[in-house]
Amino acid sequence: MNTVVQSKAPYKGNDRLLFGIIMGVIAFWLFAQTTLNIAPDMSRDLGMDASTMNVAVAITSLFSGIFIVVMGGLADRVGRLKITRFGFYLSIGGALLVAITPYGKLAAPVMLLGRALQGLSAACIMPASLALVKAFWDGPERQRAISMWSIGSWGGSGLCSLVGGLMSQHFGWRSIFWMAIAVSVAGLWMMRGAPESKAEIKGEYKFDLSGVLAFMVAMVALQVLVTQGNKLGWSSPVGLGLMVATVAFGWLFFRIEDKTPNAFFDFSLFKNTTYTGATISNFLINGTAGTLIVSLQLVQLGGNMNAQQAGFLTLGYAIAIIAFIRVGEKLLQRFGPRKPMIWGCLITALAILMVSPANLLLSDYKILASAGYTLFGVGLAFYATPSTDAALSNLPAAQTGSGSGIYKMASSLGAAFGVAISAAIFTALSGSSASANWLDGVITFVGRQDNLAVRKAAIIALGFNVLMVVMAIISIMLTVPKGTKVES
């Protein structure tokens, strides 16, 4: 029988600990994710080509997704506070490497290592901090804590493009990562004095090294295939080898996890349909992060806007997601998770459609995109707390860290593959004037005609993001029960 040991005496979470945790969340979502907007500036400054920069953008979420379940499981065993603090140290190290990345041949390896460390930091902080929220807060207080945590996560992702653009324009893009270091140090200071929380697991624990390695190889092969497939050649020996590696190691991963007693990925958690629906839809909704990289590069590459000007288009997104996060909490308390999750998805889909008309004049597009981004924030805010609470409420106490890890893995991998696939579609199609000529008979492109390839590429890449939202709605309708009562 598994029991949970939180501390020697009952401990109730306080705001200082909560905001300390949120500092770590912000270091990732508000600062590390600015690369979605400032990638063109970084690429020019460092002499990196667009495809390598796309890898640097996506690798953070990829490494977070690969290791987040492992670190969540370790947090249950060695201590959730300990793993959270370790994540802060990784965040400081990763941000430092990105901030000092030199120009030239060393740019790619230093940048990629720094971004990978930022991903590992998120893999530690996200599941361990969510497990602390469940351990130290209960009932309505826990829902409030989740809402505040979500403001740091979803709100940070909403502000990152604007903050990144402003800081890059006025202080240089490196200043963003120096700021991330300062925020991480502040978070560590605020967490001091909190007791440790961990699950007491009876029996010998053996690290699932083979399962982790198989999963890592499969995910890295898939990521390289998605981001570099057009450059390498889909039918080239390397491209075909990556496909084979993805399938083979993916199959091996499922085989290992099915037979290993101490599997790092516990498929039994998916027997609960509410947890399943929250996790799958979370993967798909986070995949719409590709909307940001496509639309922001569209106005910079196709409309000659700078990162600051592009970032201002997302101002409504940042305001809306922060303003409406707690509305999502109230909707959860009144209707249960299903309805607000679906409503949030529908609003998100409408928002992406509003950001998609790249055939308009830039002046008209900016107005429509600004309104679309505001709705994007509203939709994600409606979805965030109901989905997260539905997932946490259905986790066994001794598996809070690993279960939170799987849920947040869905976030990270969804964002990684959403950004990678969207960027790959956009980059591949925008590089050829003959791409997507079939749109000529369907859509009239007004204004400049020298940037048609970029505009067509954006429409198709954004359409992929709408498709992911549709799939998220279907998954919610099939798995999350109606009503206010959540399955236990």
Residues 38, 122, single domain; the answer is: yes
Residues 301, 412, single domain; the answer is: yes
Q: Considering the domain boundaries, does residue 443 fall inside one?
A: no
The rounded Cα 72 to chain-centroid distance in angstroms is: 16
pLDDT of residue 112: 93
Residues 273, 365, single domain; the answer is: yes
pLDDT of residue 438: 65
Residues 320, 343, single domain; the answer is: yes
Q: Considering the domain boundaries, does residue 299 fall inside one?
A: yes
Q: What is the pLDDT of residues 353-379, one digit of tens each?
A: 999 998 888 889 999 999 999 999 999
Last residue of a domain, one of 217, 244, 263: 263
Residues 305, 341, single domain; the answer is: yes
Question: What is the Cα–Cα distance from 185 to 180, expressed in whole angstroms?
Answer: 9
Residues 75, 149, single domain; the answer is: yes
Question: What is the Cα–Cα distance from 143 to 157, expressed in whole angstroms?
Answer: 20
Residues 375, 226, single domain; the answer is: no
pLDDT of residue 4: 44
Question: Among 111-115, 446-450, 455-459, whose mean pLDDT is lowest?
Answer: 446-450
Q: Can you list the positions of beta strands (E) in 382-425?
A: none
Question: What is the Cα–Cα distance from 205 to 10, expressed in whole angstroms?
Answer: 27
Last residue of a domain, one of 236, 263, 290: 263
Residues 80, 213, single domain; the answer is: no
Residues 340, 292, single domain; the answer is: yes
- 201 burial type by CB count under 10 A (0-12 exposed, 13-18 middle, 19+ buried): middle
Structure tokens of 268?
Answer: 């039994």
Q: Considering the domain boundaries, does residue 439 fall inside one?
A: no
Q: In terms of residues, how long is the chain?
A: 488
Is 90 exceeded by the pLDDT of residue 281? yes
Q: Considering the domain boundaries, does residue 64 fall inside one?
A: yes
Q: What is the pLDDT of residues 166-177, one digit of tens each?
A: 898 889 999 999
pLDDT band at 22 (very low <50, low <70, confident <90, very high): very high
Residues 236, 284, single domain; the answer is: no
Tell me the mean pLDDT in the region 431-438: 63
Question: What is the Cα–Cα distance from 226 to 290, expressed in whole angstroms?
Answer: 13
Q: Considering the domain boundaries, does residue 441 fall inside one?
A: no
pLDDT of residue 13: 66
> At residue 199, what are phi and psi to the nearest 5 degrees?
-95, 135
Which percentage of the chain shows pLDDT scores above 90? 32
Residues 79, 177, single domain; the answer is: yes
Instruction: Give residue 88's domain range.
Output: 11-194+264-432+448-479
Residues 227, 294, single domain; the answer is: no
Split into its structural domains, the chain has a count of 2
